[in-house]
A and B are shown apart, each in its own frame.
Chain A
Amino acid sequence: MSDDLCALTIAEAAAAYGAGTLTPTRLVRAYLERIERVDGATHAYVHVCRDAALAAAVRAEAEMARGSSRGPLHGIPLAVKDIIATAGVPTTANSRLLAGHVPQADATVWARLAHAGAILLGKAETQEFAIGGPAPDALYPPPRNPWNLACYTGGSSGGSGAAVAASLCSAALGTDTNGSVRMPAARCGIVGLKPTYGRVSRRGIYPLAFTLDTCGPMARSVADCALMLEVMAGHDPADAASRPVPVPRYREALSPDLAGVRIGVVRHFTTADATAAPAVNEAFDVAVAVLADRGASLRDVRMANVWDYTAVGMVITMAEAWAIHGHDLTTRPEAFNSYSRARFMLGAFVGGGDYVEAQRFRRELAVDYARLMADLDVVVSPSLLFTDWQMSAVGKLYYLQQPMPTTPFSVLGAPAITVPCGFADGDLPIGLQIAAKPFDEMAVLRVGHAYEQATPWHSRRPPL
């Protein structure tokens, strides 16, 4: 029964609160008990806020008893990636450089969620500074994929992905620079949304690459991502990239029907530019047929080669990350884990000219994408190339040989969501990626929700 509570979505828990069949303290206790029992195997958390979460649950319960509701996130226990500042709670970015660091202020995004009544259950593992993992010499051990503990979750928001998939929280926050929300979400069989660049404030989030970083929700349903994004989104003058664009009521996008929706099908990322595992492309073909069955009109489209986006995304990331960490890397390299050192130090060899050409090429790609999307609502592709990623097989610099289908929409600053669309290699999840025009999160939520409602994949849980 306790494990059943832990598997509830945000919407289900909020409805149970409203019906008087569940209380925040009961739900928080259920999660704390499950974390104690399960997280020794998954390593999703680096810090659990046991006492503070229980105290917050008691406060939420008292507010509810007085008839004072803060909305659907009131009393909902969340995990927060350990690169997002939380006042009074350790925030280490999984780095010895920040070991013991306790911020005095919340990141804007967490302040908004806390104001809406969300409860901080704990801090979820991140790769060091959102890039350096899964290193054997990391400050905290890398998370394990709840579907197969010998496999990696992907990163860098792997702790958040594992926590949501293993029912160790209602939902979580991640950050996404080249795919760090979508990759672990897809590998863990959950939903992950990278919002438009500038949609969600990054103030209080340790940067990896200034012109690519975003923060997004990771949850067990598309509806939960919509609920969270409604609270998270909005202009913040303290983040230079934040845009004063109105925030819609994302829940209104949720409909099982796709009549009139125009979808571009991007096959070449995973069939020509790079080669995905056959099971991935087969699951994608089936997903495309489901979208057609829901009433959408589909046609195959071409974007630029996935390697073009990869070159742009990696060069920008390496250069901007070197600008942030170069001093520490040259004065105290031993403080970084071995994966971070390799990944960051490569940035020392990216020239100023290379960085400028990457940003110019990025602009060309964005203009081409705007042209393509003039008569489309969304484009779809697989989220990953393969599913079976043994922990021992994750190389330090694998991305120089292997592109990620998530990178194009990071480079384009566009919103993109991944939803579960099947399983392969035993029981390892496959993800369907849905992307739209900048600031049109409504479109990805609508298509993601309709697909989710038509398929069983999101309701499966790992055997833990």
Chain B
Amino acid sequence: MPPRATPPEVFAALAAERGLRLEPAELEELRAAYDALPLLLDRLRRKAREKGADMLPVVNVVWAP
């Protein structure tokens, strides 16, 4: 999946909603990173769709399966 391309003004509004105050250059860097996030998030969402209700709940996180 190609990274998304969020318009700068839309991302600026998203950042402001979250209380983030950044200089324009840093805001633009963060927008590029935000647009790359689906590369990670879509893996999680795809796995959740595959497993559905069979996916294990969050308990005893790692060392006591």
Contacts and interface: CB of A to CB of B under 8 A. Distances in A.
> Do the two chains bind?
yes
Contacts of B19: 330, 348
For A243, A312, A348, A411, the residue with the greatest tally of chain B CB atoms inside 10 Å of its CB is: A348
A15 B48 CA distance: 55
B34 A364 contact: no
Contacts of A349: 14, 18, 34, 37
B57 A360 contact: yes
B20 interface: yes
Nearest to B49: A357
Contacts of B29: 342, 396-397
Interface in A353-389: 354, 356-364, 366-367, 370
Nearest to B45: A357
Interface residues of A, number: 46
Size category of the B interface is 20 to 34
Interface string B43-54: 111011001000
Nearest to A437: B63
B1 interface: no
Contact of B62 (A310, A341, A350, A362): A362
A319 B37 CA distance: 13
Contact of B33 (A308, A357, A400, A439): A400
Contacts of B51: 364
Contacts of B15: 345, 348
A138 B12 CA distance: 26
A438 B62 contact: yes
A346 interface: yes
Contacts of B40: 310-311, 314-315, 400
A122 interface: no
B44 A333 contact: no
Contact of B20 (A211, A345, A364, A366): A345
Contacts of B36: 397, 400-401
A348 B14 CA distance: 10
A358 B41 CA distance: 9
Contact of A361 (B21, B34, B44, B63): B44
B48 A197 contact: no
Given A330-B18, A338-B26, A363-B56, A438 B33 contact: no
B10 interface: no
A143 interface: no
A326 B48 CA distance: 27
Interface in A306-341: 307-308, 310-312, 314-315, 329-330, 333, 338, 341
Nearest to A333: B21
A311 B41 contact: yes
B48 A360 contact: yes
A196 interface: yes
Q: Name A's interface SS.
A: helix
A196 B56 contact: no
A288 B30 CA distance: 41
A159 interface: no
Interface in A184-210: 196-198
A413 interface: yes
A342 B30 contact: yes
A342 B44 contact: no
Nearest to B43: A311
Contacts of B26: 338, 341-342
B63 A357 contact: no
Nearest to B33: A397
A415 to B, nearest CB: 10
B37 A356 contact: no
B62 A412 contact: yes
Contact of A330 (B21, B41, B55, B56): B21
Interface in A234-257: 243
B20 A363 contact: no
A333 B61 contact: no
Contacts of A438: 62-63
B5 interface: no
Interface of A: 196-198, 211, 243, 307-308, 310-312, 314-315, 329-330, 333, 338, 341-342, 345-346, 348-350, 354, 356-364, 366-367, 370, 396-397, 400-401, 411-414, 438-439
14 contacts: A311-B41, A330-B18, A330-B20, A342-B26, A346-B37, A348-B15, A348-B19, A348-B20, A361-B48, A363-B57, A363-B58, A397-B33, A400-B37, A401-B36
Interface of B: 14-15, 18-22, 26, 29-30, 33-34, 36-37, 39-41, 43-45, 47-48, 51, 55-59, 61-63, 65
| 10 nearest A-B residue pairs (beta carbon) | A413-B62, A330-B19, A438-B63, A311-B43, A311-B40, A357-B44, A348-B18, A359-B58, A363-B56, A397-B33
